[in-house]
Amino acid sequence: MGFLFTSESVSEGHPDKVADQISDALLDTLLAYDPDSKVAIETLVTTGQVIIAGEVKTQTYIDVQREARDVIARIGYTKAEYQFDSDSCGILTAIHEQSPDINRGVDREDRENQGAGDQGMMFGYACKETDDFMPLPLELSHRLLLELAEVRREGKEMTYLRPDSKSQVTIEYNEENEPLRVHTIVVSTQHDDFDNDDERMLAKIKDDVRKILIPRTVAKLPERLKELFDDQYILHVNPTGKFVIGGPNGDTGLTGRKIIVDTYGGKGAHGGGAFSGKDPSKVDRSAAYAARHIAKNLVAADVADEMLVQLAYAIGVAQPVNIYVNTYGRSNVDLSDSEIAEKIREIFDLRPFAIEKRLKLRNPIYEETAAYGHMGRTPRTVVKNFESPYSGKLEREVELFTWEKLDYVEKIKEHFKLK
């Protein structure tokens, strides 16, 4: 018997994602001017207010208020009627120095043996449902909201759109764990008021989602995914009937509260640690990226059709305390999952410094991760510009989403003796 599986996504204008983007923008600017910065920044956003707190150890200074306002403006909160806008919101900063008790376990004279910034377990996952080795329900949820944001920015159709939105996709699978069809789509989007004509408003938005948003999204999919859309899927649009009050005015946002959206949509597993606002000495972030890099490359090398990789660390200790692999009975090699885990240990150096170096994580690459998922994104090289009233202007060329590169496939095939 088959089954249904559901994942959700949220837009860049969702209050939790506003908080994530502010935290990661501050991290990027600190790393741009001082790559050795140690950063753990949390952000809270609510009606007319931004509160930024955390611990930082750095040799540079940045304009925290300016950085936060720039992020809010880029997202689209630029109107006073939203009750949260980039020009007038209050910003309270409570950032202090990193605890020396933590730092002593991380910084070492031999940098290659720097310790993990905290204990914990991190997971990476990959499967063959999509071309980027991500679970299909989450992939489609992200794509719907990316397209919705593009429609909003174009300003030609659905001109009533505001920045906050959510999506959810349910996929029907067969007994072999293969996707059969799109079963249900949910889209909730913030919008302008329609002069209190709620019935007309809801009908218009639902019609536009069905006739504009979904066709535009489907048109950009590979053919094998387009075939999963039929005329029988269930569609829910703004199920409460109205979504005018949204963003931080409608719901308080916090850094790190959308960790399942950030990763695999509930497939695989999650260790519980958030990513945004943390420099790569925090293995919550860097080891999660490393685990995804491992899982994706092993699945791409056809070691298995689906794979979960767990890494775990002790604070101040360089080597992981364990590596765990689960192939869900879908391995393509004559090895146990524990034997695959041992080969991973042989192929990949999983000390925190080695992860930072291999994936180029001490670069300002993080604001782009803070909406629409940290995993399954397209690796690319971009030029980013930074400006500090204390250190002047800076231009940096950086690689984004390095953990998504398929750069270990041939090495893995050789190690596993695969053709």
Q: Are residues 230 and 184 in the same domain?
A: yes
Range of the domain at 159: 3-10+137-246
**Residue 78: per-residue pLDDT:** 96
Q: Of 246, 269, 299, at which residue does a domain stop? A: 246
323 within a domain of the structure (yes/no): yes
Global pTM?
Answer: 0.95
Residue 42 is labelled as binding a ligand? yes
Nearest to 278 by CA among 356, 380, 392: 356
Residue 219 is labelled as binding a ligand? no
Q: Are residues 303 and 397 in the same domain?
A: yes
Q: Are residues 152 and 232 in the same domain?
A: yes
In this structure, is the dihedral angle defined by the CA atoms of residues 223, 410, 270 and 285, taken in order, positive or negative?
A: negative
Distances (CA, A) of 355 to 4, 188, 348, 360, 362: 36, 38, 9, 8, 10
Per-residue pLDDT of 77-94, as tens digits, reads 999 999 999 999 999 999
Residue 191 is labelled as binding a ligand? no
- Give the span between the Cα atoms of 74 and 28, in whole angstroms: 16
178 within a domain of the structure (yes/no): yes
**Residue 285: per-residue pLDDT:** 97
360 within a domain of the structure (yes/no): yes
Q: Of 224, 246, 268, at which residue does a domain stop? A: 246
Q: Are residues 372 and 299 in the same domain?
A: yes
Residue 258 is labelled as binding a ligand? yes
267 within a domain of the structure (yes/no): no
**Residue 110: per-residue pLDDT:** 59
Residue type, position 294, single letter: I
Residue 164 is labelled as binding a ligand? yes
Per-residue pLDDT of 15-52, as tens digits, reads 999 999 999 999 999 999 999 999 999 999 999 999 99
Q: Are residues 375 and 292 in the same domain?
A: yes
Q: Of 246, 271, 288, at which residue does a domain stop? A: 246
CATH number at residue 234: 3.30.300.10
Residue 204 is labelled as binding a ligand? no
**Residue 171: per-residue pLDDT:** 98
* 319, pLDDT greater than 80: yes
Q: Are residues 178 and 233 in the same domain?
A: yes
Q: Are residues 242 and 287 in the same domain?
A: no
Residue 142 is labelled as binding a ligand? no
Nearest to 91 by CA among 57, 56, 54, 45: 45
Q: Are residues 181 and 285 in the same domain?
A: no
**Residue 100: per-residue pLDDT:** 63
Q: Are residues 234 and 350 in the same domain?
A: no
Residue 165 is labelled as binding a ligand? yes
Residue 274 is labelled as binding a ligand? yes
Distance from chain centroid for Cα 274:
10
Residue 270 is labelled as binding a ligand? no
73 within a domain of the structure (yes/no): no
**Residue 72: per-residue pLDDT:** 98
21 within a domain of the structure (yes/no): no
193 within a domain of the structure (yes/no): yes
Average pLDDT, stretch 350-365? Answer: 97
- Give the span between the Cα atoms of 130 and 222, in whole angstroms: 9
Per-residue pLDDT of 158-212, as tens digits, reads 999 999 999 999 999 999 999 999 999 999 999 999 877 788 889 999 999 999 9
Residue 343 is labelled as binding a ligand? no
Residue 243 is labelled as binding a ligand? yes
16 within a domain of the structure (yes/no): no
Q: Are residues 404 and 292 in the same domain?
A: yes
Q: Are residues 392 and 324 in the same domain?
A: yes
Per-residue pLDDT of 250-298, as tens digits, reads 999 999 999 999 999 999 999 999 999 999 999 999 999 999 999 999 9
* 104, pLDDT greater than 60: no
Q: Are residues 308 and 219 in the same domain?
A: no
Number of domains in the chain: 2
Residue 291 is labelled as binding a ligand? no
Residue 368 is labelled as binding a ligand? no
